[in-house]
Amino acid sequence: MTRVRAEGDRLLENLGQALADHQHTVAQQVGTCLKEYFDPQSGRFTERVERLVREDGELEQLLRRQIGAEDSALARTLASHVGEHSPLLQLLDPGASEGTLSLLAGTVEKTLGEQREQILREFSLDNREGALSRLVSELAEQHGEVGEALEKRIGEVMGEFSLDREDSALSRLVGRVEKAQQQISSEFSLDEEGSALSRMRREFLDVIETQRQANERFHGEVLERLAEMVARKAESDRSTRHGEDFEANVFTFLQTRSQKAGDVAIRTGNTAGRIKNCKKGDAVVELGPEHSAPGARIVAEAKEDASYTLADALAELEEARKNRNAGVGLFVFSARTAPNGLDGFARYGEDIVVVWDAEDARTDVVLVAGLSVAKALCTRARAHRDAESADFEAIERAILEIEKQAGGLDAIARSAETIRTGSDKILDRARIMREALAKQIELLGDKVADLKTLLGAASHDGQEAG
């Protein structure tokens, strides 16, 4: 058994080897054959294809013989079948009596004639079998039935539009309209608690009540705030802090005016001056280099104290001028606490006393006038020292006119506040006097400028003479 298996294995091995050798041999022969025919350089197939497709090749020659020349086989075949003398063109010739077109036209005309006669027979009343005759007969037979049906239908429609029948369409429609009208009326009736109008009224009343309560709370809060403000203001009026506020307001006003004019305002109320431990003089205005009296000093005192009299003010100004090394003094009384009968503007030598209300812009002109007169007094003092030829008379007139107009303006303002009747006339007079006061202030400024020019020229002449 083992030998048989061994011999079988050897036989299979020999057979496999023989098959492999045969496969190799066949592959070589096939490759050689394919190379002989399909080699791009020397293959027979490539050579044959080149002979067929090259210029003047066998294929081109064949096509030229078949379809290229005028006497080619294709040209002769087309000429025989569709040429000028071909049977096809003879049949399609319109002039030929036996041509296709003539036969077709005759056939169409004959067919149309037959159809026209047939249609006329169908619509002729003489032909009892025609369509029109049959239609007329059927209409005549059915006319009676149609009339009866139409009359019946009209009766049914009229019944639907009759109010005598409760189940008619019109009766049902009227019932629905009346029901809808009743529902709408009930919705807009205040007698019905559940109606839309009643609900809307209740909602409006609720909103109004809410707004009323909110307004009451708001008014209460406003009254509380006003009471607090009045209490604070009254407390401020009673306290010394109010006087300090007035002093600050006066300094702010003087500082603003001074900056516009090129002067320097300094608050000095908390510092000692030339006199030991003396703090008289709340503010000092030092005239700028562009002024005719550069470096001149004006001391200002501001008081909101009912205990101060005019004599106290003049005495304090005199001490303040010495303490601050100033040539002119300006005392500002608060309109709240000024002594009774005191003029709004007055000059006492080198001192000026004005009454000013920080909360009334109409009195600003008085404080402006006081500052302007103080500057003019500084200019006059400098002119007295530097020259004797200046026009001091015009400056004095301007100063006196300012004093006069300022005093009259204060009196008129008091009259306008106390007497409401005829206030338009009084206020108009105050406006005229305010304009006159502004004009005098402008005149004073011009004279001071002329004086500055004159002093400059005198200084120049003195230098040339030296």
Domain finish residue from 79, 104, 123: 79
Which pair of structure tokens corresponds to residue 206? 């609720």
Which pair of structure tokens corresponds to residue 221? 């809060």
**Helix, coil or strand: residue 269:** coil
Beta bridge partners of 346: 353
Q: What confidence score (pLDDT) does residue 147 get? A: 60
Neighbours of 275 (CB within 10 A): 14
Mean pLDDT by 10 residues, the chain (466 residues): 81 84 84 75 74 75 69 68 63 62 74 80 75 75 65 70 73 78 72 75 79 81 78 57 78 92 91 88 91 89 91 93 92 92 90 92 90 90 64 64 66 63 70 77 71 63 54
Residue 72 maps to a domain: yes
The domain in which residue 59 lies consists of 23-79
Which contiguous run of DSSP H or E holds residue 345? Answer: strand 345-348
3-state helix, strand, coil in the chain (%, to 5): 70, 5, 25
Domain finish residue from 33, 54, 79: 79
Residue 114 maps to a domain: no
Planar angle of CA 318, 319, 322, nearest 5 degrees: 90
Residue 85 maps to a domain: no
Number of domains in the chain: 2
Domain finish residue from 79, 108, 143: 79
Residue 410 maps to a domain: yes
Which pair of structure tokens corresponds to residue 353? 């006393």
Residue 408 maps to a domain: yes
| Residue whose entry in the numeric block shows the structure tokens 């007094």 | 377
Name, in order, each residue with C-beta under 8 angstroms of 390's C-beta and a sequence gap of 6 or more: 383, 451, 454, 455
Q: What confidence score (pLDDT) does residue 386 get? A: 64
Residue 277 maps to a domain: yes
Residue 86 maps to a domain: no
pTM (two decimals): 0.41
Residue 187 maps to a domain: no
